[in-house]
Amino acid sequence: MALDAETLLIERCQAGDPEAFAALVRRYQRQVYALAYRLVGDRAEAEDVAQEAFLRCYRSLARFRTGQPFGPWLYRIATNLALDHLRRRGRAAAMASGEPPPTAERTAGPDEEALRREDQRRLAAAIANLAPEYRVPVVLFHLQGLPLAEVARATGLPLTAVKNRLYRARKMLRQALRDQDNEATGRCRDEQVPVREPVGSLR
Amino acid sequence: MNRCPSESQWEAFVDGDLSPARCRDLAAHLAVCGRCRSLVDDMLALKAALDSLTEPEPPPTLVGSVMGRVRREPPPQRGVHLRATALHALFTAGVVAEVAALVLAAVGITPQDVAGLIALRWPGLFSVLTGAAGLIDALADALGGPRGWEVAVGILRQSPWLWPASLALGLGFLLFIRRYRAPKELG
């Protein structure tokens, strides 16, 4: 049903109705902005990339065949723009600060919230340190929640290549988090600070 | 199962990307192998952490900024694309036909040979083609012009440059049409 509504919106856009396109932007803005943010690592730049992705999408809508999944097509545009942006900027290791993104969610208590934010910060930093070809499948599969087949469509890669990159990326993430844990444990021991449960194993 | 499965097998297991039979095999191995159990626990924990990673909220101005730019754009040009596709198909068909005609002429196959072959292998198609050819010839007779193949051969003899020119035109159009293809693949 949702897909039908989306198809109608796309057809209205193709007929030149800008309000239908506004509805599409509202529907996908979270995913496209989050994807751009995870890939370029900066809020202002992510907004530029997201804007440009929607604009390119609008210009190319005439060529979009309704009935195909719209999301992966749009993510592919956004992904390519973000990667072009990274290449232009000349630093693939974006988001080195690994700053936690602003969120609307505030449910846990202060301590629990602080720990959760710290875990998220470390995980986000580990993702940001992956090379773009490994970061993209992680972002699309885990953070955007796309099935593997749609990740393949969104990246233009064969399914086996997507799986291989995803597996390697997760292995690198596990290793990076273990290293962070070891480093934190060593630092705490040196400073005689009580050590909290390691999160590198994320257990 | 005595040997431990590979890490990629376990990754596929964690993603639920294996057949039920293979899943059962791996689950049975997990029950007896502490090393693999530890690896899979790590994988599951990472997967859970990734799936629960909070995503950033888009800025409230995003939709307005996009729509401000969209409203300055011309509406989507579907007609241009359809015309481009039709021209692309036409040029491609033309190039294929020209190449086929040149190859047939080069190896000395006459139209009569081709007609004989078609009549032998595909009599139904032969009837359709002769019917169409008859129609074209009748039209040519009515207009007082030459018949069927003679038209094509006559043009080729009088203006042989038409072939490379139209080939170049087709190639140029193929290059132009590349602009209309989907975004490039990831590196």
Q: Is residue A180 assigned to a domain?
A: yes
Number of domains comprising chain A: 2
Q: Which of B41, B63, B69 sits opposite A55 (nearest CB)?
A: B69
In whole angstroms, how far apart are CA A150 and each of B8, B46, B55, B81?
Answer: 20, 22, 20, 25
User: Residue A117 has what pLDDT?
Assistant: 79
Q: Give the tokens for residue A144.
A: 């955007």
Kindly state whether residue A101 falls inside one of the protein's structural domains. Answer: no
A95, A119, A146 - which closes a domain: A95
Q: Judge whether A33 lies within some domain.
A: yes
**CB nearest B81 (choices: A63, A100, A171):** A63
pLDDT of residue B131: 80
Q: Give how far A185 is from chain B: nearest CA, Å.
A: 18
A35 interfacial to chain B (CB closer than 8 Å): no
Residues A91 and A114 grouped into a single domain: no
Interchain CB contact of A7 with B (< 8 Å): no
Indicate the SS3 state at residue B186.
Answer: coil
d(CA B106, CA A186): 80
Q: If DSSP codes are grouped into helix, strand and coil, which group holds residue A68?
A: strand
Q: Which CATH number characterizes residue A23's domain? A: 1.10.1740.10
Contact between chains at B76 and A80 (C-beta distance less than 8 A): no
| pTM as predicted | 0.62
A4 and A72, same structural domain?
yes
Residue B60, chain A, CB below 8 Å: the answer is: no
Could A163 and B65 be called an inter-chain contact, meaning their C-beta atoms sit closer than 8 Å? Answer: no
Same domain, A72 and A12: yes
Domain boundary, last residue among A34, A66, A95: A95
- Residue whose entry in the numeric block shows the structure tokens 């078609």: B118
Per-residue model confidence (pLDDT) at position B43? 93
Nearest to B46 by CA among A171, A25, A145, A114: A171
Same domain, yes or no: A76 and A157 = no
In a domain, A162, yes or no: yes
Phi, psi (degrees; rounded to nearest 5) at B57: -80, 140
A75 and A165 fall within a common domain: no
Helix or strand holding residue A116 (H, E) = helix A110-128
A102, part of any domain: no
Q: Among A67, A95, A123, where does a domain finish?
A: A95
SS3 content of chain A, % helix, strand, coil (to 5): 75, 0, 25
Task: Write down the pLDDT at residue A106.
Answer: 44
**Which residues of chain B, if any, have pLDDT below 70?**
1-2, 77-91, 93-94, 97-98, 101-102, 105, 110-112, 136, 140, 143-169, 172-173, 175-187
**What is the distance in angstroms between the Cα of B104 and the nearest Cα belonging to chain A?**
37
A149 and A188 co-located in one domain: yes
The predicted pLDDT at position A104 comes to 43
Residue in A67, A35, A69 with CA at minimum distance from that of residue A53: A35
| B34 near A CB under 8 A | no
pLDDT of residue A65: 81
Helix axes A148-155, A159-191, angle to 10 degrees: 100
The CATH number assigned to the domain holding A162 equals 1.10.10.10
Determine the structural domain holding residue A43 and report its residue range: 1-95
Closest Cβ opposite residue A102 in set B41, B56, B186: B56
Give B97-152 pLDDT, tens digit per residue: 667 766 776 777 766 677 777 778 888 887 887 787 777 677 767 766 655 556 66
**SS3 category, B166:** helix
Q: Is residue A103 one of the residues assigned to a domain?
A: no
DSSP A108: S
* A187 and B CB contact within 8 Å: no
pLDDT along chain A (203 residues), means of 10: 76 87 94 92 92 93 83 91 84 47 49 76 90 91 88 89 94 90 68 46 40
SS (H, E, C) B19-43: CHHHHHHHHHHHHHCHHHHHHHHHH
The residues near A182 (Cβ < 8 Å, ≥ 6 apart) are: A200
Both structure tokens of A191: 């400073």
The predicted structure's pLDDT at residue A168: 95
Residue A197 has what pLDDT?
A: 44
